[in-house]
Amino acid sequence: MAKERAFNFINGTWSWPAGAAKLTSHNPADHKEIICIFPDSPESAVDLAVQAAKAAYPAWKRMPAPARAKIIRRAGEIMLRKKNALGALVTRECGKPLKEGLGDVQEAVDMAELAAGEGRRLYGETTPSELPNKLCMTFREPVGVCGLITPWNFPIAIPAWKGLHALICGNTIILKPAEDTPMCAVEFVRALEEAGIPAGVVNLVLGTGETTGRALTKHRDIALISFTGSTETGRHVAQTCGASGKRVSLECGGKNAQIVLADADLELAIEGVLWGAFGTAGQRCTATSRLIVEAPVFDEIVERLIKEAKRLKLGPGLKKGTDVGPLVNETQLKRVLRYIEAGKGEGAELLCGGKRATGKDVAAGWFVEPTIFAGVTRSMRIYQEEIFGPVLSVLKVKDAAEAVEALNDSAYGLSSSIYTKNVNAAFAAVKDIEAGIIYVNGPTIGAEVHLPFGGVKQSGNGHREAGKTGIDIFTEWKTVYLDYSGKLQKAQIDNS
């Protein structure tokens, strides 16, 4: 059976770039299954996409925002109509269980609804002038051509988070998805194409970060790069963009922690950490990687957590009853196993898991058992470094103050969580935790599209995605002074 080919989408046409090497996307639950063949787009293909976006920009910018919104809304309706097929594709290409794959698509649908709504807002401000018969106002304008570099773990949702906000503001875009999930990006763009997006407004270039991504970040005619990925890669993106004066938005890594105080609902807390640590096989930037437990309930939490973790069913995401899918590729599998060995080597106590999973359902995929360490200290690598896999480190603390201190002992600050019935303790933690996202009595994962998403410290560079703040990076402010006095009025002069 011939394998499906994924093509670039440039100026309204699907095509394979001349001279591009062939790459393959595999099912991580069965690496023998090829999802598609796709190109490693060279710099010349990126340039064609940028020129198409540049040419389409003036007309798209002039189109009224409510008219742009109609196209975005239709794209959301198309994705909703195809939700089951798209969800299954997400599962096949990135490995997450089907219920999570369907959730990925629903996020994109929700974002289309949110972004389309901004077409009736995109608010500016009016303000009084310090001088008589003078009007002051501000409004938003698009930035221009935007390059979007997206990861594999939310292969439809994150292109929607970035792309739909960029489009509603009047920008044109070039999307470069992760090489693990090109077909998901193709289907996202197909929805926009079917919705009637004008040629050149949305462009797709497939390929590796080293070839295609690098060409995108270096291109002189791109005004902005929006990147989601590792902190290390984010630094390189920022350096490249800084050299040419591009705007850059970074959504990077996390080392997220859940606190459990002694008065918490322990059953709820255990459910939360199981989902936060092992959902998506721990492959979320918001995944729970550290569990910080107050001493009086530490032993009970650990005992119950081990029992529940061992009950989780590993397997292909399309198989009914699967709780935990595979890691995305062999490279990630080896990385996670190295961190597990590092944890053991530093003296942490391995409580469960700790190895590649075996058995009929998982033999052909990149599966690692849900892994829990105790006896962890704050200096250990498994406590400090992002692993991006199903590995949880459990730390005992004496009280709430030490718990918050331990949570903040990290180079990252993306998501966090505290379980307690004490409202005073909850609000004190909310005030003192150094993170962009805080959940009270909920896991560290589960962001909603109408709220700002992003972190502090090395988790990003201060910008936020989603919510109404998601349009900030994709717009420039224009300030207008309208003087109808009929005479020269001198502002910023002492007229007293």
Kindly list the catalytic residues. 251, 285
What distance lies between CA 180 and its chain's CA centroid? 15
> Phi and psi for 68 in degrees, rounded to 5?
-60, -40
Strands 456-457 and 224-228: unpaired
CA 307 to CA 103: how far, in whole Å?
27
Question: Cα dist. 119→63, 78, 115, 140, 191 in Å?
Answer: 11, 19, 7, 12, 19
User: Which of 279, 326, 327, 365 is CA-nearest to residue 103?
Assistant: 279
CA 480 to CA 135: how far, in whole Å?
8
The total of other beta-carbon atoms located within 10 Å of residue 157's CB is 24
Q: Which residues partner with 290 through β-bridges?
A: 257, 393
The total of other beta-carbon atoms located within 10 Å of residue 196's CB is 10
Q: Is 222 left (phi over 0), alpha (psi -120 to 50) or beta?
A: beta
Residue 436's contacts (CB-CB under 8 Å, 6 or more residues apart) are 413, 414, 415, 452, 453, 454, 455, 456, 459, 460, 464
Q: Give 363's Cβ-side CA count (13 Å radius).
A: 3
Segment holding 85, helix H or strand E: helix 83-94
User: What's the alpha-carbon Rg for the chain, to the nearest Å?
Assistant: 24
Q: Is 46:211 a contact under the CB 8 Å cutoff?
A: no
- 237-260 as b/e, with b when 16 or more CB fall inside 10 Å? bbebbeeeebbbbbbbbbbbbbbb
Strands 125-128 and 134-142: antiparallel
Q: Is 252:285 a contact under the CB 8 Å cutoff?
A: yes
In this structure, which amino acid lies at residue 473?
I
3-state per-residue secondary structure call for 380-423: CHHHHCCCCCCEEEEEEECCHHHHHHHHHCCCEECEEEEECCCH
The DSSP result for 117-165, as a single string, is: HHTT----EEEE-SSSSEEEEEEEEE-SEEEEE--SSSTTHHHHHHHHH
